Amino acid sequence: MITIPRRLLCLFACFIGATASLTLSQAEAADQLIRSRPVSQGNTVATRTSTTHSGWSPQGNSQSVQRHQAASNRKPTLVSRPANGSVKQVGYLDGGCDCAECSSAGVLGGPGCGMEASCGLEVGCGLEEYGVCSCDACSGDLMSGCDSGFCDGGCDGMCGGAEIDCFPLFLPILRVDWSRFSFFAGSQAFKSPMNYPALDVAGQPRGGSGSFGYYQGFNEGRDLRNWLGLDLSAQLGVRATQTNLDGEEFTSGRMHQVFVTGGLFRRVDYGLQYGLVVDYLNQDWYYQSDLLQLRGELSWKVSACHEFGFQFMAGVTDQIVTTEAGGFTSSETIEPVDQYRAFYRRAMGTTGHMTAFLGGTSEEHFIWGSEMEIPLQTNWSLLVGSAYFSPGDDTALDANEAEGWNLSIGFAFRPGVTGPKQRYRNPLFNVADNGSFFVFRR
């Protein structure tokens, strides 16, 4: 004779009870959904008849019968939809395109470019206080809610049923909206006139070569609606580089660079898009320098995916530096080169893009190059960039010294999922590098 343990019977009974409870709750939800739909007057009689014989309400439940009768007496509701089925254009100050609004127009998420992320995976508020793990944190009842200005709309997509991730932190409590951040790292190679020291002890030009090494940094963007009430966003980013790891023929030191980029921008779905940032560069090699430049962009988006525009880089400061190369000390003046570029940009999803540009410099260079950010997964992107500075005939330096180029490849990681509604605050500018901040010797 087969004996069944009591614990197994209890677990089996609990499973049957939970299944029955879930089935009943789903049936009630389906019944409420059916009864909440508007019906036409022609179906009123049929609906009333079905209510009396409906198997969903128990016999003798007068409240359920009354609800059925109220639902049958509802008048049809007319819902306006776009005639051409296009995406509803939403202003930036309206908070972007939310899931409910887009779904009513037959579109899921924002205007897609072929690689748009799902609207249902919007990021939460980041690291919430311990114990606040539900959508109550987004209701605005607590000081930690999105109304306090920290989340910048990050909770809007989470309060449909999914819970916000929590992490137990002890005092002080840190709040970070990770959807605003992008962390990147990779390898790079570049060459500029500063790879060639001016003269040696005999007064002859020195030899030189390109630099190879690695970079890492972050870029962060946030909208300013809660602070200024303006259709603007702000960004701040840092890039650190380490190159010439085994020195050069004229110095044994490594090159260390720190780029800092910060400023304002405005992203749109269609129309005029612009921004202006300040770039700072600190260099420590066989010389030390601190330089500034302005970088701006003005473009026109002809559609959600295609954009044409103009970029400029203008040097703000120059500097007289002391160089120590091969035992010979000298001084020279260096400055950022002014650049002027025309570009075309193709958007790829919420965060990706492909940009091609060409232009010139104040030192008679002809420039061309490209930048790409290719989405790989929800949080990862592939970064590829190139720029070439072809010297003109009127340059003061030899052609091989005046020539410049920059190549980079790496990956970007976004800890928080960036949804369609948050694309307006994605940084418009990449953090400066040796392609966008080109240093020249006078």
* Res. 379: pLDDT tops 80: yes
**Residue 172 preceded by cis peptide, ω within 30:** yes
Phi/psi of residue 96, nearest 5 degrees? 85, -170
* Res. 81: pLDDT tops 70: no
Model confidence band, residue 37 (pLDDT cutoffs 50, 70, 90): low
Kind and range of the H or E element at 102?
helix 99-104
H, E, C per residue of 329-356: EEEEEEEECCEEEEEEEEEECCCEEEEE
> Could you report the per-residue pLDDT of 403-418, keeping only the tens digit for each?
999 999 999 999 876 5
Q: Beta partners for 327?
A: none
Mean pLDDT score, 35-51: 45
- The Cα–Cα gap between 441 and 198 comes to 9
Model confidence band, residue 12 (pLDDT cutoffs 50, 70, 90): low
Looking at residue 202, what is its pLDDT?
Answer: 59
| DSSP class of 248 | B
Q: What is the DSSP string of 9-76?
A: HHHHHHHHHHHHHHHHHHHHHHHHHHHHS---GGGHHHHHHHHHT-SSSPTT-HHHHHHHHHHHTPPP
Looking at residue 250, what is its pLDDT?
Answer: 83
- The Cα–Cα gap between 68 and 60 comes to 14
Looking at residue 285, what is its pLDDT?
Answer: 94
CB-based contact 219:433 (threshold 8 Å): no
Looking at residue 327, what is its pLDDT?
Answer: 76
Mean pLDDT score, 14-18: 62
> Could you report the per-residue pLDDT of 178-232, keeping only the tens digit for each?
888 999 999 999 999 999 887 655 556 567 789 999 999 999 999 898 888 888 9
* Res. 313: pLDDT tops 80: yes
Looking at residue 243, what is its pLDDT?
Answer: 96
CB-based contact 38:77 (threshold 8 Å): yes
- The Cα–Cα gap between 69 and 50 comes to 10
- The Cα–Cα gap between 70 and 90 comes to 36
> Per mean pLDDT, which range of 98-112, 268-282, 349-363 is the poorest?
98-112
Quote the tokens at residue 41.
């007057």
- The Cα–Cα gap between 386 and 312 comes to 17
* Res. 275: pLDDT tops 90: yes
| DSSP class of 139 | S
Quote the tokens at residue 178.
């990770």
CB atoms within 10 A of CB 259: 23
* Res. 434: pLDDT tops 90: yes
Per-residue buried b or exposed e for 392-403, using 16+ beta carbons within 10 Å of the residue's own CB: eeebebeeebbb
Interacting residues of 436 by C-beta distance below 8 A, sequence separation 6+: 279, 295, 313, 339, 387, 430
Q: Is 178-441 CATH 2.40.160.40?
A: yes
What pTM does this model have? 0.64
- The Cα–Cα gap between 126 and 177 comes to 5
Kind and range of the H or E element at 399?
helix 399-402
**Domain limits, the chain:** 113-176, 178-441
Model confidence band, residue 171 (pLDDT cutoffs 50, 70, 90): low
Model confidence band, residue 116 (pLDDT cutoffs 50, 70, 90): very low
Looking at residue 42, what is its pLDDT?
Answer: 43
Quote the tokens at residue 15.
């499973």
- The Cα–Cα gap between 21 and 189 comes to 64
Three-class secondary structure of residue 401 per DSSP: helix
* Res. 347: pLDDT tops 70: yes
Looking at residue 138, what is its pLDDT?
Answer: 38
Looking at residue 325, what is its pLDDT?
Answer: 80
Looking at residue 72, what is its pLDDT?
Answer: 61
